[in-house]
Structure 1
């Protein structure tokens, strides 16, 4: 076996560049450019580029991660939102506790008695009548007083309004029952021809169907706390004919 030739003599200067004193190809001409200048960039610049990029990215990260100071306005808004949220939670819990302790119930509207004294026609379509009934208002609550601030009662024949009456506001204590007489007078009410014929036929058969609709605005008082809501009463009545018409049957419902 032949011994390997000695490696070429290399000189390293202070700038860290390698100087090949003995070229690998003695016949090749020396050129002033490095093999790394193919891309047009010297070797020293190519080796320094990652350090520069790393330094710039590190400085950018430091600038991006610098915490911003919270302004006083932001603190004030956050404190106000926190207080508002706590108040909402407090009032919600208080309302739930009051509701469970009081157990509010809806007042009831009923018609235990009614009379029909007059039904006649001035012409085939103009109707006159006189209808009276007793309204029963019941407050079933054991811990709540109610105030009827607005009360209106309407009389219908099928879907046609034929009389209306307004009641004076009144107060009901817990568990109280109130009876009130109501008179509904119809004077020259124009009925559609088909409804006029139906009413005349019912009078002849001695069975008249009326509908009562009551609309009430109720205020409930629980100590110093009060709230209002609308109450709707519906009653379907079956009466005998005038002049001594009496109540034969009824069906009443009350809902909010």
Structure 2
């Protein structure tokens, strides 16, 4: 019987070997990076910084017969950083205070830093120019005066950034959306209103 004839062995192209080695190295690097990031997260336990309305009150409220509303309101907004190992930076802070959709004032803040495991309070004293109201809005003011409180809306955003050990810099938008039911007698309220990150 005739023995089968074997042809010359085909060798793998060196370029294929190089690509295989590079892929193997990249896979190992990705796995190690994932493990380091996971360990860093478990050690640091990062918490998203928050903004909240600490307190608010009406200092003065004037509503006349020609449907002009003038208010002076004090609001304290608290920036909280519950991270024990990282400072937090807050920037692009801008909130709008409204009365049933009518803008009363804008509350802005320059960029600022909150130390580790600490908080900072931003004090705003808002004084509006006379705001012309529609008959419907005027009725809402009158109803609020009868009930001894007037409702305002506070909406806006803050950008926050902080560094988490080996994970790197983390950024979030913080969105605040509050309804402030303020007594007209100047009593300070302490609403439970915080930001929710997205």
Is TM more than 0.5 here?
A: yes
2:139 corresponds to 1:197:
yes
Alpha-carbon RMSD across the aligned residues, in angstroms, is 3.2
CA contact (8 A) 2:61 2:69 kept: no
CA contact (8 A) 2:89 2:161 kept: yes
Q: 1:254 — aligned with what? A: 195
Q: 1:148 — aligned with what? A: 90
2:169 corresponds to 1:169:
no
Cα distance in structure 1, aligned partners of 2:104 and 2:10:
74
2:16 corresponds to 1:74:
yes
Q: 1:206 — aligned with what? A: 148
Secondary structure at the aligned position of 2:46 is classed as coil
CA contact (8 A) 2:50 2:174 kept: no
Unaligned runs of 5+ in 1: 1-57
Deviations 1:106-131 (A, max 9, x none): 2232323322223436954x644332
CA contact (8 A) 1:237 1:249 kept: no
State TM-score, norm by structure 1: 0.62
Q: 1:240 — aligned with what? A: 183
Higher strand share: 2
1:197 positional shift: 2.5
CA contact (8 A) 1:146 1:219 kept: yes
Aligned residues: 192
Equivalent residues in 2 for 1:8-157, closer than 5 Å: 69-116=11-58, 117-120=60-63, 123-124=66-67, 127-157=69-99
Query: Following superposition, which runs of at least 4 residues in structure 1 exceed 6 angstroms of deviation?
Result: none
1:103 positional shift: 0.8
State TM-score, norm by structure 2: 0.77
Unaligned runs of 5+ in 2: none
1:174 positional shift: 1.1
CA contact (8 A) 2:92 2:158 kept: yes
Q: 2:169 — aligned with what? A: 226
CA contact (8 A) 2:75 2:124 kept: yes
Higher Cα Rg, which structure: 1
Q: 2:123 — aligned with what? A: 181
With over 3 angstroms needed to count, the CA separation of the structure-2 counterparts of 1:73 and 1:155, relative to structure 1, is: farther
1:202 positional shift: 0.9
Secondary structure at the aligned position of 1:89 is classed as helix
Higher relative contact order (CA 8 A, sep 6+): 2
Higher helix share: 1
